[in-house]
Structure 1
Amino acid sequence: MEIRKATEQDLDAIVELDRQIGQIHFEQVPEVFCAPSSRQRGFLLDAIQSEGRLFCVALVEGWVVGFLSARIDINETVPFLTTLPVCRITTLVVDEHHRSRGIGRALIAHCDDWAKAHDASQLKLEVMSFNARARSLYESLGFKRQSEIYAR
C-alpha cells in the first residue's frame, strides 16, 4: 500500500469514493445529508488543490482505494477553548471492497504524522452514530468520545 498526496489525476476515484460514503450517509440521515451529486466534483477538486490542508490517497496495486482530508484549526475567538492547534479529520473513506484491510489505519497514521509536523495537540473527527464500523476503528486507535450532537 502507498499513501501520497492526492492530485487532480486522482479525482475520478476520489469522486467515486465520496459517492460511496455520501450514499450511505444520505440513506441513514436524509434530513442532514443530500444525495450524492455532480456538484461534489468541484468541491473535491478545490479541496485537493487547497494549500495548508492534508488531502491524501491510499493506493493498492496502483488503484486509489481510500482518501483522507484534514486541516489544522486554531481557536482564536472562544475564550474557554484551547488555542493549541488541532488537526480535524474532515473525511476518511475506504472503498467498500477494501475495508478491514488496514487502509483506514494507515491513512490515520499518515495524518497523525502530518498533524505532529504542524504542532497539532490532538486529532479530532466527527462520526455519525449509525456508523458502528468507523466508531470501532476510531476507538481501537485510541480516539475517545468528547461530545454528542442531538437533533430533532
Structure 2
Amino acid sequence: MEIRTATEQDIDAILELNRQIGLIHFEHAPEVFCPPSPQERDFLLNAIGSEGRLFCVAVLDAEVVGFLTARIDINEAIPFLTRLPICRIGSVVVDEHHRSRGIGKALIAHCDDWAKARDACQIRLEVMSFNERAKSLYETLGFKVQSQIMAR
C-alpha cells in the first residue's frame, strides 16, 4: 500500500469514498448531514488544490481505497487557549470493502508524520457518537476523548 498526495485524477475514487461515508452519516444523523450531492465534486477538488493542507490517499493495487484530510491551526484570537500548532483531521475514509486492513491506521500514521514536520503539538479529530468502528480505531491509536459536542 502507498500513501501519497491526492491529485485531481483521484477525484472519482474520492467521490465514491465520500459517498460511502456520506450515506452512513446521513442515515444516522440526517439533522446534521445532507445526502451526497453533485456539489461535493467542486468542494473536494478545491480541497485537493488547497495549499498548506494535507489531502492524501491510500492506494492498493492501483486503486484508491482511502483518504485523509487535515490542516494545522494556530489559535491567535482566544487568550485562554494555547497558541501551539494543532493538527486537525477533517476526514478519514476507508472503502467499505477494504476496512480492517490497516488502511486507516496507515493514513493516520502519515498524518502524524506530516503534523510533526509542522511542529504540531497535538492531533485532534471529531468522530460521530454512532461511529463505533472509527472510535475503536482512534482509541487503539491513542486518541482520548477531550471534549464532547452536545445538541438538542
Task: Give TM-score, length-normalised by structure 1.
Answer: 0.99
Give the equivalent residue in structure 2 for 1:113.
113
Q: Distance in 1 between matches of 2:79 and 2:145?
A: 22
Q: Distance in 2 between matches of 1:8 and 1:150?
A: 36
Give the equivalent residue in structure 2 for 1:77.
77
Please give the secondary structure, in 2, of the residue aligned with 1:151. Answer: coil
Identity across aligned pairs (percent)? 75
Give the equivalent residue in structure 2 for 1:49.
49
Structure 2: which amino acid aligns with 1:7?
A: T
Q: Distance in 1 between matches of 2:148 and 2:124?
A: 13
Measure how far apart 1:110 and its partner are: 0.2
Measure how far apart 1:71 and its partner are: 0.2
Q: Distance in 2 between matches of 1:125 and 1:78?
A: 20
Q: Distance in 1 between matches of 2:22 and 2:76?
A: 31
Question: How many residues were matched structurally?
Answer: 152
Please give the secondary structure, in 2, of the residue aligned with 1:45. Answer: helix
Measure how far apart 1:84 and its partner are: 0.2
Give the equivalent residue in structure 2 for 1:28.
28
Gaps of 5+ in 1: none
| Displaced runs of 4 or more, over 4 A | none
Please give the secondary structure, in 1, of the residue aligned with 2:134. Answer: helix
Measure how far apart 1:21 and its partner are: 0.4
Matches within 5 A, 1:3-152: 3-152=3-152
Q: Distance in 2 between matches of 1:80 and 1:18?
A: 36
Measure how far apart 1:133 and its partner are: 0.2
Measure how far apart 1:104 and its partner are: 0.2
Task: Give TM-score, length-normalised by structure 2.
Answer: 0.99
Structure 1: which amino acid aligns with 2:134?
A: A
Q: Distance in 1 between matches of 2:11 and 2:27?
A: 24
Structure 1: which amino acid aligns with 2:23?
A: Q
